[in-house]
Amino acid sequence: MLEYVGFEPGRFQARWISGSEGAKFASTIKEMTETVKSLGPNKKMRDDVV
């Protein structure tokens, strides 16, 4: 569904992390941020905004 509206698959990730897993949360957010940065701007969404 997200691809249909213009989101690349790597831009959305869902993870289950307990409130007691602070280190896991931090590493997951770092990993997700690096992934999205490597994708660069979402070209389809930028083209639609005028």
Q: Could you write out the DSSP letters of every residue in 8-21? A: -GGG-------TT-
Domain ranges (residues) in the chain: 9-48
More confident residue, 33 or 46: 33
Rounded Cα–Cα distance for residues 9 and 11 (Å): 6
- Which whole-number Å values give the CA distances from 8 to 17, 24, 43, in the listed order? 23, 25, 10
45 touches 5 (CB < 8 A) = no
Residue 35 has pLDDT above 60, yes or no: yes
For 46, phi then psi, to 5°, come to -70, -35
Residue that the structure tokens 């509206």 belong to: 5
The predicted model gives 41-45 an average pLDDT of 75
Q: Residue 27: its pLDDT value, please?
A: 96
More confident residue, 15 or 42: 15
Lowest mean pLDDT among 3-12, 18-27, 28-37: 3-12
Split at pLDDT 50, 70, 90, the class of 46 is low
Residue 15 has pLDDT above 70, yes or no: yes
